[in-house]
Structure 1
Amino acid sequence: MWRMPIESAPHERTWMAFPREGVTLGDDAETREEGYRAWTEVAHAVAQFEPVTMVVDPTEIARARRMLSADIEIVEAPLDEFWMRDVGPTFVVDADRPGVLGAVDWIFNGWGAPDWAEWQKSALLARVVAEHVGAERIDSLLVAEGGGLHVDGRGTVLLTDTVQLDPRRNPFADRARVEAELARTIGATDAIWLSRGLTRDYDDLGTNGHVDIVATFASPDHVLVHEQTDAAHPDAEVSQLVRRELTDAFAALGRSVTITGIPAPSTLRDDHGWVDWSYINHLVTNDGVVLCGFGDPAADARAAEIIADAYPGRRVVTVDSRPIFDRGGGIHCITQQQPTVG
C-alpha cells in the first residue's frame, strides 16, 4: 500500500525546477533576473542540508550552470511552469515493499486552466522525474497539485474544498471520490477538509486556495497555521476559520493535536492588493528548515523561533521570499521532497 511520508521524515533529495522566460518570470530583464536569483538562493539554502536536483529547460541550461553551485544536479527537460511542488510528482513509499519508491502523477492543468497559464510541457515532468529516480509511476485521473495537500505520514491529509472540488479542475468530483483517490495514491485514511485558503490566492494568478500556505503538520500531533492578527486584513477572518475547522476536525477524529499559529508579517498590502505572505510555506529538510523571510526583522525572527521550537534539532535558514510570493507562491511551492526508502 502506498503511503506519503510526513515532510519531516528523512529525504533522499529535494527537487526544484529552474525558471524560464514566460508570464511567471516577468516582463523585463530586471524582473526576470530577480526571479532567477530567488530560485537560486532557495536551491543553495536547501543544498546546505540535502542534495538538490534541478530540472532545467534547454533554453536555460547555460544560465543554470552559471548560477547554480556545482553540487546541484541538473536534469534537462522541457518545461513552461516551474513550481515543482505542483508540476512534479508527489512521492510515496510502499510499506509492503521496502525500498520501493512511488511517484504519483496527478493531472496538472495550470491550477484550473486560466487563460494566462502555460502548463502543457510541465504537465509531463512527473514522468521525467519518476524515470530519472527509478520510481514506480502511479497514474491518477485527479487534477491536483502537491501544494494542495499536507500529510501527517499516518494517513491524515489536509485539503481545501476550493482546490480539490474546483469545477475547473475536477468538475465531477465530490469529497468521497477525492478521498477514495487519495487513499489509493497516498494512503490517506482521514481527510480534513478546510473551507478555503488565503485571500490573495483567489486572484487571477492564484491557486484557488492551496493548503500549504495556511496549515501544515510539524509532526502528527502538531499543526502550524497562518495567523493574521490585524483585523484590517481579510485573512484575519480566514485564519480564525481555519483554526476552528482544524480544532473541530481533530476532535471529531478523537485526536489531541497542538495547533500553533505563526503570526503574519506586519505588511498588509502591496501594489497588487492584500499580501498572502505566510511563514507556513516553508520546506523541512533533513537537518534544517528553509523558511520564508519578508524583510520584517521582528516578524521574521519570531517566526524562526516558532519554527525552531516546532522542529527541534533542525537549523532554520531564512531566505527572502518576497520575489517568489510576487509570482504566486513561496519556498514550499518551488520545492518537492523525495523521501528516503529503506
Structure 2
Amino acid sequence: MSWPASRSIWGRRLPGVQADIALIARTVAAFEPVVMCAIDERAAADARAHCGPGVTVTSEIPTDDLWMRDTCPVFRSDGAGALDALGLGFDGWGRKQTHRNDARVAEYVAEYEDLPFGRADFVGEGGAIETDGDGTVMATESSLVAKNRNRGLSKAQIEAAVLRAYGADTMLWVPGIKGRDITDDHIDVTSRFIRPGVVMVQVPPGDRTDVWAEDARRQLAILSTATDARGRRLRVTTVEGPDAPRSHARDFVDSYLNFHVVNGAVITAQFGDRPKDEAARATLAAAFPGRTVVQLDVDRLMNGGGGIHCSTMQQPAR
C-alpha cells in the first residue's frame, strides 16, 4: 500500500483519505502482513501514527499517490516457489497525473523485496487487467488500446504483449469507456474473476441508464457467452450495485467488486444501503467459502475514483 501525502492531489480531502487508507491497512493487517510505502520520513511518521504497529511503514519506496494496484509490479510465480516482479510501465494513466515517483515504484518494490525485475512490452496498470491464474485474462479496450498509453501498437499486438506478461493464453475484451475517468474504465470496478471459470459482474439497478450502467450491462452480456483458455463456458454470477450510496461525487466508485482478497477474508466496501450491502456480503461469502467478508465505509477514498482493490497489491508467498 502507499500513504497519501500530497495536498496538490487531494487538497482538503487529504485527512479523510488518509483515515480510509489507514482503516484498510489495519483491516488487512489483521489477516496478513502489510507494507505501507511513504514518500519521505515525515510522511512515514504520519502513516505510523495512523496505521499503528501492525503495519510496516517504509520510506525506501517513495510514492506520489496511493494507487498501488496500478503502480506496483505484478508479482508472478513459476509454480515452484520462485517469484519475479514485472512493471507495466505506469505513466500516470496516460499522462493524466504527475508520476515522477510512481513511474519507478514497480522497480523500487522489486528491489525492496529482492526479486528479479522485468518490464512488460506494453503500458498499462494492474487494475486494468484481471487474471484467473489459469490461462485467461480480461480487460477493457478503452484502458489499453489507447494512444495515450500504447501509441503505435495494434489491439492484436497489445493482446500478445499482455498474454506474454501474464503467462496466459486467452484474452477476453470488453469495450469499456474512454475519457470519462482517469483510468479509462478499469475492469476491476465491474468484473472480477472469482476463480478459474467463474466471473462476477456488478450490475446496476434497473432504473439506471447512465454510461457506466450501460457499460456494466455490456460486460455482463459479453462475459456470459465467453469461453476461457481451458475451453470452459464462463459461469457468470452477479451482484447488484447500491441504490442510494451516501456520496454523489462525480468520480465516486460505488463498487462492491473493487474488493481485495486476503488470507482468510475478502475486504470490500459498504455504502449505507443496508439491503444491498447485506446482499453483496452474502453473495461474496457464497463466492469465497471459508473467507470472512469484511465491509468498510471508505467513501472518502472512493470519492477519489478508486477503492480498496485500487489501493492494494497482493504479493504471493514464496
Normalising by structure 2, what TM-score? 0.93
Q: For residues 210 and 23 of structure 1, do their structure 2 counterparts lie closer, same or farther at Cα, with a shift above 3 Å needed?
A: farther
Q: Relative contact order (C-alpha < 8 Å, sep 6+): which is higher?
A: 1
C-alpha distance in structure 2 between counterparts of 1:72 and 1:258, whole Å: 37
Q: What are the residue-to-residue correspondences of 1:190-339 with 2, within 5 Å?
A: 190-196=170-176, 202-203=179-180, 205-234=181-210, 235-250=212-227, 254-267=231-244, 270-273=247-250, 275-339=252-316
Q: What are the residue-to-residue correspondences of 1:64-83 with 2, within 5 Å?
A: 64-76=47-59, 77-83=61-67
Matched, 1:20 2:2: no
1:14-51 CA distances to partner (integer Å, 9 max, x unpaired)?
Answer: xx011112343x222xx221011000000011111111
C-alpha distance in structure 2 between counterparts of 1:269 and 1:195, whole Å: 29
User: What is the identity, as a one-letter code, of the residue corresponding to 1:62?
Assistant: A
1:55-80 CA distances to partner (integer Å, 9 max, x unpaired)?
Answer: 11114122111111212111213221
Instruction: State the shift of 1:154 in Å.
Output: 0.5
Matched, 1:163 2:143: yes
Q: For residues 231 and 238 of structure 1, do their structure 2 counterparts lie closer, same or farther at Cα, with a shift above 3 Å needed?
A: farther
Pick from 73, 77, 80 the counterpart of residue 89 of structure 1.
Answer: 73
1:293-340 CA distances to partner (integer Å, 9 max, x unpaired)?
Answer: 112222111101100000000001111121111111010000000012
Query: Is the Cα contact below 8 Å between 1:83 and 1:334 reproduced in 2?
Result: yes
Matched, 1:126 2:106: yes
Matched, 1:100 2:79: no
Instruction: State the shift of 1:174 in Å.
Output: 1.9
Matched, 1:177 2:153: no
Comparing 326-335 and 267-276, the one that deviates more: 267-276
More strand by share: 1
Extract unaligned runs of 5+ from structure 2.
none
Query: Is the Cα contact below 8 Å between 1:46 and 1:52 reproduced in 2?
Result: yes
Q: Give the aligned CA root-mean-square deviation in angstroms.
A: 1.9
Normalising by structure 1, what TM-score? 0.87
Comparing 248-257 and 305-314, the one that deviates more: 248-257
C-alpha distance in structure 2 between counterparts of 1:53 and 1:228, whole Å: 34
C-alpha distance in structure 2 between counterparts of 1:274 and 1:57, whole Å: 25
SS at match of 2:84: strand
Query: Is the Cα contact below 8 Å between 1:268 and 1:275 reproduced in 2?
Result: no
Instruction: State the shift of 1:251 in Å.
Output: 7.8
Extract unaligned runs of 5+ from structure 1.
1-15
C-alpha distance in structure 1 between counterparts of 2:290 and 2:257, whole Å: 19
1:179-232 CA distances to partner (integer Å, 9 max, x unpaired)?
Answer: 2222322102100001115xxx843x5210101001011111211101102333
1:165-185 CA distances to partner (integer Å, 9 max, x unpaired)?
Answer: 011111112222122222322
1:273-297 CA distances to partner (integer Å, 9 max, x unpaired)?
Answer: 4854111100011100001111222
SS at match of 2:239: strand
Query: Is the Cα contact below 8 Å between 1:19 and 1:82 reproduced in 2?
Result: yes
Query: Is the Cα contact below 8 Å between 2:253 and 2:307 reproduced in 1?
Result: no
